[in-house]
Amino acid sequence: MAEAEAVQLKEEGNRHFQLQDYKAATESYSQALKLTKDKALQATLYRNRAACGLKTVRAIDINSSDIKALYRRCQALEHLGKLDQAFKDVQRCATLEPRNQNFQETLRRLNTSIQEKLRVQFSTDSRVQKMFEILLDPNSEADLLEKAANNLIVLGREEAGAERIFQNNGVALLLQLVDTKRPELMLAAVRTLSGMCSGHRARATAILHAVRIDRICSLMAVENEEMSLAVCNLLQAIIDALSGEDKREHRGKEEALVLDTKKDLKQITNHLLDMLVSKKVSGQGRDQALNLLNKNVPRKDLAIHDNSRTIYVVDNGLRKILKVVGQVPDLPSCLPLTDHTRMLASILINKLYDDLRCDPERDHFRKICEEYITGKFDPQDMDKNVIAIQTVSGILQGPFDLGNQLLSLKGVMEMMVALCGSERETDQLVAVEALIHASTKLSRATFIITNGVALLKELYKTTKNEKIKIRTLVGLCKLGSAGGTDYGLRQFAEGSTEKLAKQCRKWLCNAAIDTRTRRWAVEGLAYLTLDADVKDDFVQDIPALQAMFELAKTPDKTILYSVATTLVNCTNSYDVKEVIPELVQLAKFSKQHVPEEHPKDKKDFVDMRVKRLLKAGVISALACMVKADNAILTDQTKELLARVFLALCENPKDRGTIVAQGGGKALIPLALEGTDVGKVKAAHALAKIAAISNPDIAFPGERVYEVVRPLVRLLDTQRDGLQNYEALLGLTNLSGRSDKLRQKIFKEKALPDIENYMFENHDQLRQAATECMCNMVVNKEVQERFLADGNDRLKLVVLLCGEDDDKVQNAAAGALAMLTAAHKKLCFKMTQVTTQWLEILQRLCLHDRLSVQHRGLVIAYNLLAADAELAKKLVESELLEILTVVSKQEPDEKKAAVVQTARECLIKCMDYGFIKPVS
């Protein structure tokens, strides 16, 4: 009856539609839909009702004379080139008179014209041409120029855009932009060229030859910091493309090109070395040249045998680098410098020296340095002597061993002491700095204590120059701390170091003093904080702490090493040799000196210092330091920062604060780059954070995937047990977040290590590894490892379910529950891996701990559901009685899941017909 009535209503709706009463037709179709279940009829009714809606919308109240006016306006707009507006008018005409061939033809023609116009307008050729027209038009408005310049940079970064710019004489046009001398246009041109060179060796070679290396270097030599950095990036893009450092995939013809780039790379190196000693080069330009040499000359991986680039620079440029190191700002002959220049040059000398492979190479390096320094000594020219000592001072900030060898040169130490007594302040300044850097070793410090302390004290009392005064104070600080953390080996009288430290803190908090001078106060504290009394006083001086943190955030990043050293001392995160009581007794018996620990270096005092540092805002300062320029942030400094982070993360209660202030994010680069010790320390700190923090908050966005590799490296058997354990906890937390993270852990080949720790005798390691595996088995690729024939992985998990340790049982049972739920094959395999399987399962189902019991019952259900024969075997065992007892327990909120699962097992048995319900 209903279906017949629905058909009638449909016919009624059709009649209303023909009479153009679309409202009545809609009502008829809607009523019919309520009555029918016929799919075909429903589809027809929906279509008809939609047609009514369309007709209602298009029933525009317009007469034929209006249509003609509309069409005439369409023709006029087309004539004026306003194709989109013309198209809208004719589209309306065609809607009202769909059979009008004239309207339809106009509609087709305009559509084709619009598509062609859009194609031309958005084609890369057109966009490139348009950008250049705007940029080279002297009458272009400023906003339009800026937009065009930015668009050109974006186009240069796209492969299609870069190639179009290159093919359409774009390099010449970009050089015209450079010739305008307008900074914003010059920057746009340089940045566009950088994009064009990236990842394309042939194009980079052509651009290098077209622009010329001397012109590129002259652009980098300008005073403008932004321009200098942009040109440095261009040159780096060229070097990467020529040397193959850019890892992008090359396609088509580019892949087939084989270019000999050694000549070009050598030419670039020569020009960079020439920049170091040219008076025409700004301090910014010199810094960028040093940055490029630092980044591209020494080997990145010492496993690579070829160090020919370093040998070439040593032979052809070491004297030029030494000249930069030996610059004295107050002398008239000084080259233009920034606060970073000499430090960058010292770092380059250090990297070159570390890159040498054998003693003959190191001897050759040392001889060049010796000849350069001794060649400067001149009794008639004090300026040359000052430069010689300044050079030694700079080398001491680089390769310490080489610097110490140079100190033994005849006359060097004597000249340092003599310059302290000079009447000229420039000489005093250089001499004091050199003495500070020379006092690295206790043997050197002893020599200076004997020969120079009285001089330094006299200089400190008499000088009115604050710069000299503070440096002299630092010299005294360093000499006072030459005994290191050894409480019994103090160089100065009781209380002297505290007085020196108090003066340093006073200088540090004085905002009226320039940053470059105040950083020497931190340098002093870096030595003095080896004394526990000093570090304890310092962390209680909140204004001094915060003044140091603010200095660490300033553009002058030469302070980083000193700040990092001070923080390492305050947190006691330096390496401490293990004291063996028997050896101590032996040393005392033979009247040898035995190192003593200061009472304030005990754990309680260290913990209190960590609390105060966190409260003062140390994390934000550390995060800012990590972002520093790579050359300034040396591997040694990174290691110090990693040590500090690890000490700060020691207490789990503090980790939330560290995460909230960006500590998790800052640790990632420290765990990926630097010394081996630094990377391990940073990875351990990451593991501590990852173990108990929400990864989405601690490592937001894609950063969380970068955490996996450092944690996996901590699973290495060479790492200590605590590092293994906390890495496993971190990976457990991460693997519980998403399958994408589980996939990342799997790809980093962590599974074999996790499995190895599941065999460990150590209870906590075995538990952590099993919990991690419990999360990992959700991943399909991990499940496939269990499904594969010829391995004992499933057997291990089953046997771990029978362990006495509740936590291990819980994790293993969870893993087994998920595996048996995912694959029936694993249900059968479980019964074959060990004869104890049924006994272990029964123990799980009777376990005192509800979570273990619940997981055991889930495993039982999975086995029952897998196969009738297997279910029959289980029903014939004592398991049926266990399930019956559990299912009959009194209702209890805590036991609800356990009882429910046991009942589901019994229902499955009833489904098979093995048991029958009782009334």
DSSP states along 329-364:
TTSTTPPP--TTHHHHHHHHHHHHHHT--SHHHHHH
Q: How many CB atoms lie within 10 A of CB 435?
A: 31
Residue range 752-769: average pLDDT? Answer: 90
Residue range 693-702: average pLDDT? Answer: 87
How many alpha carbons fall within 13 Å on the CB side of residue 7? 5
- In the predicted structure, residue 603 carries a pLDDT above the cut 60: yes
The DSSP symbol for 250 reads P
Which of 169, 244, 231 has the alpha carbon at shortest distance from 201?
Answer: 244
Residue range 595-599: average pLDDT? Answer: 66
Residue range 630-644: average pLDDT? Answer: 87
Q: How many CB atoms lie within 10 A of CB 784?
A: 10
CA dist list (Å): 188 to 15, 146, 177, 200, 874: 69, 9, 8, 20, 76
Which of 842, 774, 847 has the alpha carbon at shortest distance from 811?
Answer: 774
Which of 579, 492, 581, 587 has the alpha carbon at shortest distance from 531?
Answer: 492
Residue range 400-405: average pLDDT? Answer: 84
Residue range 582-600: average pLDDT? Answer: 58
Q: What pLDDT was estimated at residue 499?
A: 84
Q: Are 432 and 472 in contact (CB under 8 A)?
A: yes
- In the predicted structure, residue 632 carries a pLDDT above the cut 80: no
- In the predicted structure, residue 444 carries a pLDDT above the cut 60: no
CA dist list (Å): 260 to 204, 242, 256, 267, 857: 13, 9, 13, 13, 69
Q: Report how far residue 582's alpha carbon sits from residue 585's, in angstroms, rounded to the nearest whole number.
A: 5
Q: Are 575 and 650 in contact (CB under 8 A)?
A: no
List, as one string, the DSSP characters of 650-716. SSGGGHHHHHHTTHHHHHHHHHHSS-HHHHHHHHHHHHHHHHHS-HHHHSTTTHHHHHHHHHHHTTS
Q: Compute φ and ψ for 631, nearest 5 degrees.
A: -70, -40
Which of 241, 272, 235 has the alpha carbon at shortest distance from 254?
Answer: 241
Q: Report how far residue 233's alpha carbon sits from residue 720's, in angstroms, rounded to the nearest whole number.
A: 42
Q: Report how far residue 411's alpha carbon sits from residue 674's, in angstroms, rounded to the nearest whole number.
A: 37
Q: What does the CA dihedral 467, 470, 476, 477 come to, rounded to 10 degrees?
A: -140
Name residue 39's amino acid: K
- In the predicted structure, residue 199 carries a pLDDT above the cut 90: no
* Average model confidence (pLDDT) across the chain: 85
Question: What size, in residues, is the chain?
Answer: 919
Rg (CA), the chain: 39
List, as one string, the DSSP characters of 871-903. HHHHHTSTHHHHHHHHHTSPP-TTTHHHHHHHH
- In the predicted structure, residue 640 carries a pLDDT above the cut 90: yes
Which of 491, 493, 495, 486 has the alpha carbon at shortest distance from 475?
Answer: 491
Q: Compute φ and ψ for 36, nearest 5 degrees.
A: -105, 150
Name residue 447's amino acid: F
- In the predicted structure, residue 292 carries a pLDDT above the cut 90: yes
Q: What pLDDT was estimated at residue 251?
A: 42
Q: What pLDDT was estimated at residue 29?
A: 87
Secondary structure element (H or E) that encloses residue 509, with its range: helix 496-509
Q: Report how far residue 567's alpha carbon sits from residue 562's, in angstroms, rounded to the nearest whole number.
A: 9
Which of 362, 245, 350, 288 has the alpha carbon at shortest distance from 635?
Answer: 350
What is the pLDDT confidence band of residue 184, given thresholds at 50, 70 and 90? confident
What is the pLDDT confidence band of residue 610, given thresholds at 50, 70 and 90? very high
CA dist list (Å): 641 to 134, 168, 326, 670: 49, 50, 29, 8
Q: What pLDDT was estimated at residue 651?
A: 92
Q: Report how far residue 584's alpha carbon sits from residue 581's, in angstroms, rounded to the nearest whole number.
A: 5
Residue range 717-738: average pLDDT? Answer: 92
Tokens at 121, concatenated: 């307008």
- In the predicted structure, residue 451 carries a pLDDT above the cut 80: no
- In the predicted structure, residue 481 carries a pLDDT above the cut 90: no
Task: Kindly report the CATH class assigned to 136-245.
Answer: mainly alpha
Q: Could you tell me how far CA 899 lies from the centroid of its own chain?
A: 49
Q: What pLDDT was estimated at residue 577?
A: 61
Q: Compute φ and ψ for 532, nearest 5 degrees.
A: -65, -35
* Stronger pLDDT, 781 or 43, i.e. the higher one: 781
Return the percentage of the chain with pLDDT > 90, whole number: 41
- In the predicted structure, residue 380 carries a pLDDT above the cut 90: no
Q: Report how far residue 629's alpha carbon sits from residue 290's, in angstroms, rounded to the nearest whole number.
A: 12
- In the predicted structure, residue 174 carries a pLDDT above the cut 70: yes
Name residue 114's amino acid: I
All residues at 6 or more sequence positions from 881 whose CB lies less than 8 Å from its CB, including other chains = none
Q: What pLDDT was estimated at residue 337?
A: 92
Q: Compute the Cα dihedral for 230, 232, 235, 239 and give only its sign.
A: negative
Q: What pLDDT was estimated at residue 818?
A: 94
Return the percentage of the chain with pLDDT > 70, whole number: 89
* Stronger pLDDT, 899 or 585, i.e. the higher one: 899
All residues at 6 or more sequence positions from 380 whose CB lies less than 8 Å from its CB, including other chains = none
- In the predicted structure, residue 579 carries a pLDDT above the cut 60: no
- In the predicted structure, residue 738 carries a pLDDT above the cut 50: yes
Answer yes or no: CATH 1.25.40.10 is held by domain 1-122. Answer: yes
Name residue 103's amino acid: F
Q: Are 224 and 181 in contact (CB under 8 A)?
A: no
List, as one string, the DSSP characters of 801-864. TT-S-HHHHHHHHHHHHHHHHH-HHHHHHHHHH-TTHHHHHHHHHT-SSHHHHHHHHHHHHHHH
The DSSP symbol for 559 reads G
Q: What pLDDT was estimated at residue 134?
A: 81
- In the predicted structure, residue 521 carries a pLDDT above the cut 90: no
| Counts for the chain of helices (H) and strands (E), in that order | 53, 0
- In the predicted structure, residue 590 carries a pLDDT above the cut 90: no
Residue range 79-88: average pLDDT? Answer: 84
Helix (H, G, I), strand (E, B) or coil at 538: helix
Q: What pLDDT was estimated at residue 863?
A: 94
Residue range 416-445: average pLDDT? Answer: 75
Whether the model clears a pTM of 0.85, i.e. scores above it, the answer is no
Q: Which of 68-72, 315-319, 694-698, 731-735 has the lowest mean pLDDT?
A: 68-72
Angle at 714 between CA 712 and CA 716, to 5 degrees: 90
Q: Report how far residue 548's alpha carbon sits from residue 553's, in angstroms, rounded to the nearest whole number.
A: 9
Q: Which of 109-118, 384-393, 712-721, 801-810 has the lowest mean pLDDT?
A: 109-118
Residue range 700-712: average pLDDT? Answer: 90
Cβ-count burial 375-394 (b if 16+ within 10 Å, e if not): ebbeeeeebbbbbbbbbbbb
- In the predicted structure, residue 854 carries a pLDDT above the cut 80: yes
Q: Could you tell me how far CA 772 lies from the centroid of its own chain?
A: 25
CATH number for the domain formed by residue range(s) 617-778: 1.25.10.10
- In the predicted structure, residue 79 carries a pLDDT above the cut 80: no
Q: What pLDDT was estimated at residue 447?
A: 62
- In the predicted structure, residue 723 carries a pLDDT above the cut 70: yes
Chain position carrying tokens 């010059």: 186
What is the pLDDT confidence band of residue 36, given thresholds at 50, 70 and 90? confident
Q: What spatial distance separates the first Cα and last Cα of the chain, rounded to whole Å?
A: 45
Tokens at 543, concatenated: 């204004």
* Stronger pLDDT, 404 or 663, i.e. the higher one: 663
Burial class (CB in 10 A: 0-12, 13-18, 19+), 111: middle
Tokens at 264, concatenated: 């070009």
Q: What pLDDT was estimated at residue 125?
A: 64
Q: Which of 417-431, 436-450, 864-878 has the lowest mean pLDDT?
A: 436-450
Q: Which of 28-32, 419-423, 852-856 has the lowest mean pLDDT?
A: 419-423
Q: Compute the Cα dihedral for 399, 404, 409, 410 and give only its sign.
A: positive
Q: Report how far residue 40's alpha carbon sits from residue 482's, in angstroms, rounded to the nearest whole number.
A: 95
SS3 content of the chain, % helix, strand, coil (to 5): 75, 0, 25
Residue range 470-494: average pLDDT? Answer: 59
Q: Report how far residue 852's alpha carbon sits from residue 223's, in angstroms, rounded to the nearest whole number.
A: 70
Q: What pLDDT was estimated at residue 440?
A: 59
Q: Are 346 and 398 in contact (CB under 8 A)?
A: yes
Q: Which of 141-150, 250-259, 425-434, 660-669 has the lowest mean pLDDT?
A: 250-259
Q: How many CB atoms lie within 10 A of CB 913?
A: 8
Which of 391, 380, 283, 265 has the alpha carbon at shortest distance from 340?
Answer: 283
- In the predicted structure, residue 487 carries a pLDDT above the cut 50: no
Which of 638, 624, 672 has the alpha carbon at shortest distance from 568?
Answer: 638
